[in-house]
Structure 1
Amino acid sequence: MGFDIINIDYPLWDNRATNFFIYLKTFNFIETYRASHPGVSLMWVGGGAIEIFSRLYEHFFQALPVINEYIIFPWRSLFIKLALVFSILFVYLLAAFLISRIFNKKSAVLFFIFLSLEPYVLAHDRIFHLEGLLTAFIFVSGLFSMYFWKKKELKYLVFAAIFASFSFLTKTTGIFAFLFFFLCAVVMFNHEKKILFRKTLAVFLGFVFLFCFFVFMFFPAMWVSPLDILSRMFLGNLSLLETGHSQYFLGNWSDNPGLLFYPLVFLFKSSPILTFWVFGFLAYVLWKLGVVKRTHKFSRKNLKEKVLIILFVLFYVVEISLSPKKVPRYILPIYPPLLLLMSISFVEIYEKCKNLKKYIVIFMFLAVLSLVLTVHKTFPDFLAYTNPVLGGMKKADYYIGNKHFGFGLREVADYMNKKPYANEIKLIFDGDGSIGPFFLGMSRNSTYIYRDHISTADYFLLPYYLLDTDAMYLEYKKDFVLEKVFNVNSYPYWYLFRNVRIE
């Protein structure tokens, strides 16, 4: 994991996580506030891994590691990502346990298999960024909330609050986990039993208190000035909401792609099996609603829990759609609940259709096999995955774009490193942090470099979608000639241009 990809925001979060622990050790707690996200959970996990790696390196080599050193960096990156992956794995194992209790063991096993092989989920679970942790925390908090209202046991209330606080500390959109607890109370309410207002109010207040307590406990900046930190988080997120985010959509760049953006992202980023299941499930629900309207009968088995999972997906999509800032990865938290519903439905079909069990098993085997083959074919560029049924990256280019997030750059770096005097090569690239640690030469970001440095550069690297729009490249185009095109998932993506003065 540390040797194949550096997501474009990796250097940013590496710096934040490193500084987080520096300020923690020096008791400068207020400075542990690094961003309005606020990304605290990621900094605890990543910063802790960095700290352990540094201490181990110092113990064995009697020196502190040089962060961007060509040999050291991949191992350091691997250490960070392993900490992140094992944290996410632990959370999903908890989720599988809860699923086995709320539904059944077959659904739990099937869910875990599908989740582990869903390409877009896998992509974000193995990079140093927020969405992987956020998705795991929100999902398991939702399951604990559901299970608490089913069992009414205090320990599940505490765990629901803990993971809701972790969700919020990872990213402010994680406040959804906090609100979902109250939605569970409404849906899971048993109308056949007399409601005890005081007892329910006590539960609500207890959950709010626990949520606030854990947010305060795990965010050191809160120990110093909680109101100021909350104000900075609010104002920071408000400014992000107002500015939007440049995104390629339906053939044009837009700061607010609109309501169709996330549905299209889901279609292009999901596996074929999940895509087909969603359409089949929607058709089934519409048909079932028609049947219920006529017969007034509906299967009661785990009905409330299924309704909650559906509401989880719908309300989360609404939450992220309200903001003009829309980024494909923001949709990631809807994948676990959808994969859970898919697993439950397959198990129910298997148990109801006794004469077709053999064929259902064969179908499930083929579905899992197709996912395994997809993962094998896409490795290591999972972030570039697009649904092959919809035309892959070629079709996705028009509908949602193929904006790079660091994928494919290890291959470019390996190619450059084989050149004579590779350590003296000067490369211009907008996003040098994603290639620099793999590259023996010098990489510079075209966004910040001085113009007189362009003509003296040896190489210029561009993604295909900037060939006609990058101002720097267009201005100095006459000085460069195309040397090689690098494919990502069989799609021509990176264009490497050589300075004409180089033989």
Structure 2
Amino acid sequence: MSKSTWFIYPVIFLFALAPRLIGLQQFITADEAKWIYRSAQFWQALLVGNCAETMVTFKPAVTTMWTGGIGLWGYNLFHDNLPFLEFLHVIPLWDVNPAMLAAARLPTILLSCGSIVLIYHLSRYFLGEKTSFLAAILLAFDPLFLAHSRFLHHDALVTLFAVPAVLFAMHVDRLEVCPTWSIIFSGIFAGLSFLTKSPIFFLVPFVLWLFMRNATLNTIHTALTRFVLWACISYLTFFILFPATWLRPIGVPFDIITDALQVAQTSTGTLEQANKFDEDDEMDFQVSSRADLGILYYPVHFGFYISPIVFIGLLLFGYSHATLFVGEGLGRGALSLSLKQLRWGATKIFLIFIISFMIFMTFSHKRSARYILPVFPFATLVASVGWMRCGSNRTSLLVVALAAGQILTVMPYTPYYITYTNPLLGGSFTAPKLIKIGWGEGMDLAGAWLNQQPYAMANIVGADYASTLKPYFIGRVANPTSADLDYVISYHKQRQSLPKPILDYQSRILSPLHTVHYMGIDYAYIYSAPPIYPIDSKTIIAFHPDMNYLPIGQEFTVDVIWHELPPADVMFYMQEGDGNLMAESTYHMLSANVTRHMLVVPDTITSKEYILFINDISLGKYRARQVVVPSHFTSTNVQFGDEIRLMGFNPNLTIHDGSITVDLAFQVTPKSWHDYTLFVHVIDDNGNRLTGYDALPNPSTSQWLKGEVIIISQTVPMPKDLADDDYQLRVGWYHAGTGQDLGDGFELLTMPQ
């Protein structure tokens, strides 16, 4: 490097850094909350000297947890400022605040920017200054690499370690440098790769091939010696940075490789099962709205995630080489190619890595586009060669134009770079039909809409990617099939795996309250609860009730989705646990395979659980709830604080010998945040309490459900020596722990003498 070009390094770094710092708090991917928690586990074990417990996962993702822990240390330093070990101990699973998320991501971002600079530096020898600079800018703004290098995850990390490992290994054959140093640095980066993700053990045979590819009988010993040195350096790096190996130097690598083989065959590794963490890895099976790609899975995903400039550059590179064989087209002179370059040029090594790594990953039972992220830097290098050989006369202008084009391509997706799909292949129109879409992006926008709804803090939302919604929603997030939900989010990626009848029902019959739409794709559909419940039956696929409880005295409706046409006679009914039939229903057809059933819940039943049936197929237990004030009650609308409302009362008191009983109807509005004590007092005209009774209701107020009317019968003792006079019944609530009243008491009625 000449002194006049030193500034290129910080320029590349800053170009790479700028788009990665935008909107770091805006959304969280499906796995990042887990990796923040795992980083905390790793660092806790590290700081207390428990080496065995640093084996948090078999991925092994050690570098992910190192970088995550460094980010957490920085966050704690500037926010909580607790003793670091104490801070790590209180980090919850699946629940991360956006500021902590941004801090945990930052080390990966800085490493990614540094790696792009290093790739530029190492590729200059093979490709030249301008071509390498173009490749660096294209990589800095490569949509998929840009997206993942902003996440606390291992796919970008394994990429930024594996690519320099290969490039350093390619430098071993340079005559003007000491091969030992290239071997050492390649080994260090390979060791970091092995610490990050087990499939990158692919580097072992690949680097062996690199060292052996030009070996002869006279030099094969040298090549093997270099490989052994490389392997030793790789293992030494692995050993130093992974404390679990200090106790089991051979056992830990063996377990990681064994688990990787098991995961490739069965999709779930042993330690993952023990930890019960749901990975966002996808299985390559036939689903309703996405084609089964088979062995074309990775080529298709690769095509959809590279930029148009890289896509065209690869085509130009391929075309330029094809013309050398047929002697047509652009010709040898225009492309300045030689047969020597064609045979064993650096670009051929890059292409061999791209093709062989995608083939290698295809054998795995678990597949995801991000698994082949290490091929994308090599693709930008090859594409840059393709472009530069076509514009050899005005290379500087071409570099500027292509860099600007790459930046303009990706900037509209800021900061949701992960939503990019290649417009040359149809972009957002064709991508959902062929590849899985969505890894949590858009859930922050769903949370923003939910926060604007009435009583948002008290609402419960069901979502598959719960950890992607929690940081952005002020209410509670639960499993999408939980009871007592207020809203349900149907996310695009899950919708792509739905059976076609359920997807048709969602699309044609249900109407979402809100749809999160971004860059041509509907990422999240928000519906009123309850959700659609799948069912294990030969005839029924799923059912969808209109409520998650049985409204006493009201109509209850359920839609049933059948595999095919429903039988001629369909019965929908409810039973008590002892088998007594409580109610039957009527129904009509909504579509060829969907029936809607309606029954009136008897007003004589009590608030307990009943079983619903379609013919002899159980739909599960549902609790009956009082949702309206009984007709013989006097209606009121008295609010106690912002939490409890008196809906009505029975004006006919029940008079006993020495006591009276009053029936009260309450409802939470929409939630009681504490357990309050109910009081019913008898007061005189001066407001003096003469007698009364205070009690915690059962269930307690914090357990009351939104919309349910709670009938409480409160008995008040009456003194025998009470003078004949007009007295008032005062009703109210207070917090027993603090003595604080919940609003003002209410004079319910004047008691008869």
Range class of TM-score, shorter chain:
0.7 to 0.9
Q: Which residue is equivalent to 2:297?
A: 261
What amino acid is the match of 2:374? Answer: P
Q: Deviations over 1:16-61 (max 9, x none)?
A: 1110000011111111112221111111111222133224434389
**Residues 21, 51 of structure 1: 8 Å contact kept:** no
Alignment of 1:475-486 (within 5 A): 482-486=512-516
Q: Which residue is equivalent to 1:40?
A: 62
What amino acid is the match of 2:246? Answer: W
Q: Deviations over 1:425-462 (max 9, x none)?
A: 2110011001101211111122xx54xx1xx2111100
Mean alpha-carbon deviation: is it higher for 386-395 or for 49-58?
A: 49-58
Q: Is 1:332 aligned to residue 369 of structure 2?
A: no
Deviation (angstroms), 1:337: 0.7
Deviation (angstroms), 1:496: 0.5
Deviation (angstroms), 1:374: 2.5
What amino acid is the match of 2:307? Answer: S
Mean alpha-carbon deviation: is it higher for 59-68 or for 305-314?
A: 59-68
Deviation (angstroms), 1:265: 0.7
**Residues 187, 304 of structure 1: 8 Å contact kept:** no
Distance 1:92 1:5 in 2: 24
Task: From the superposition, tell whether residues 164 and 70 of structure 1 become closer, same or farther in structure 2 (CA, over 3 Å).
Answer: closer
Alignment of 1:451-490 (within 5 A): 453=483, 456-464=484-492, 466=494, 469=499, 482-490=512-520
Q: Is 1:422 aligned to residue 462 of structure 2?
A: no
Q: Which residue is equivalent to 1:497?
A: 527
Deviation (angstroms), 1:152: 4.1
Q: Is 1:300 aligned to residue 340 of structure 2?
A: yes
Alignment of 1:336-485 (within 5 A): 336-351=377-392, 354=393, 357=394, 364-402=399-437, 404-446=438-480, 450=482, 453=483, 456-464=484-492, 466=494, 469=499, 482-485=512-515
Deviation (angstroms), 1:366: 4.2
**Residues 8, 431 of structure 1: 8 Å contact kept:** yes
Distance 1:78 1:333 in 2: 24
Q: Is 1:118 aligned to residue 142 of structure 2?
A: yes
Task: From the superposition, tell whether residues 201 and 375 of structure 1 become closer, same or farther in structure 2 (CA, over 3 Å).
Answer: closer
**Residues 425, 458 of structure 1: 8 Å contact kept:** yes
**Residues 49, 80 of structure 1: 8 Å contact kept:** yes
Q: Deviations over 1:79-113 (max 9, x none)?
A: 11111100121222122111123332212211111
**Residues 430, 445 of structure 1: 8 Å contact kept:** yes
TM-score w.r.t. the length of structure 1 is: 0.86
Deviation (angstroms), 1:475: 11
**Residues 293, 434 of structure 2: 8 Å contact kept:** no
**Residues 98, 143 of structure 1: 8 Å contact kept:** yes
**2:147 match: secondary structure:** helix
Deviation (angstroms), 1:195: 3.4
Distance 1:114 1:227 in 2: 40
Distance 2:287 2:313 in 1: 25
Q: Which residue is equivalent to 1:185?
A: 211
Distance 1:125 1:380 in 2: 12
What amino acid is the match of 1:308? Answer: I
Task: From the superposition, tell whether residues 139 and 419 of structure 1 become closer, same or farther in structure 2 (CA, over 3 Å).
Answer: same
Instruction: In structure 2, list runs of 5 or more residues that go unmatched.
Output: 1-22, 268-281, 530-545, 548-705, 708-753
**1:59 match: secondary structure:** coil
**2:367 match: secondary structure:** coil
Mean alpha-carbon deviation: is it higher for 148-157 or for 103-112?
A: 148-157
Distance 1:368 1:69 in 2: 41
Q: Deviations over 1:207-263 (max 9, x none)?
A: 221122111111111001133323322332222111244246686679x85211111
Distance 2:93 2:228 in 1: 51
**Residues 21, 48 of structure 1: 8 Å contact kept:** no
**Residues 249, 401 of structure 1: 8 Å contact kept:** no
Task: Choose from 183, 190, 193 the match for 1:167.
Answer: 193
**Residues 61, 196 of structure 2: 8 Å contact kept:** yes
Cα RMSD of the aligned pairs, angstroms, is: 3.4
Distance 2:341 2:451 in 1: 60
Q: Which residue is equivalent to 1:127?
A: 151
Mean alpha-carbon deviation: is it higher for 282-291 or for 360-369?
A: 360-369
Distance 2:372 2:139 in 1: 15
Q: Which residue is equivalent to 1:98?
A: 122
Distance 1:17 1:50 in 2: 8
**Residues 492, 523 of structure 2: 8 Å contact kept:** yes
Mean alpha-carbon deviation: is it higher for 208-217 or for 155-164?
A: 208-217
Task: Choose from 271, 281, 303 the match for 2:307.
Answer: 271
TM-score w.r.t. the length of structure 2 is: 0.59
Q: Deviations over 1:138-165 (max 9, x none)?
A: 1110000001222443221110000011
Deviation (angstroms), 1:416: 1.6
Q: Which residue is equivalent to 2:630?
A: none
Task: From the superposition, tell whether residues 320 and 72 of structure 1 become closer, same or farther in structure 2 (CA, over 3 Å).
Answer: closer
**Residues 40, 91 of structure 2: 8 Å contact kept:** no
Mean alpha-carbon deviation: is it higher for 317-326 or for 275-284?
A: 275-284
Mean alpha-carbon deviation: is it higher for 262-271 or for 150-159?
A: 150-159
What amino acid is the match of 1:280? Answer: L
Structure whose alpha-carbon radius of gyration is higher: 2
Q: Which has the higher strand share?
A: 2
Alignment coverage as a number of residue pairs: 483
Distance 1:25 1:470 in 2: 51
Distance 1:22 1:231 in 2: 24
Task: From the superposition, tell whether residues 475 and 344 of structure 1 become closer, same or farther in structure 2 (CA, over 3 Å).
Answer: closer
Q: Deviations over 1:47-80 (max 9, x none)?
A: 2221332244343899949647999821111111
**2:513 match: secondary structure:** strand
Distance 1:147 1:435 in 2: 46
Task: From the superposition, tell whether residues 491 and 474 of structure 1 become closer, same or farther in structure 2 (CA, over 3 Å).
Answer: closer
Distance 1:440 1:470 in 2: 33
What amino acid is the match of 1:413? Answer: G
Q: Is 1:136 aligned to residue 173 of structure 2?
A: no
Q: Deviations over 1:151-200 (max 9, x none)?
A: 443221110000011111111111123333222223355x7xx8345444
Distance 1:248 1:424 in 2: 39
What amino acid is the match of 2:522? Answer: P
Instruction: In structure 1, list runs of 5 or more residues that go unmatched.
Output: none
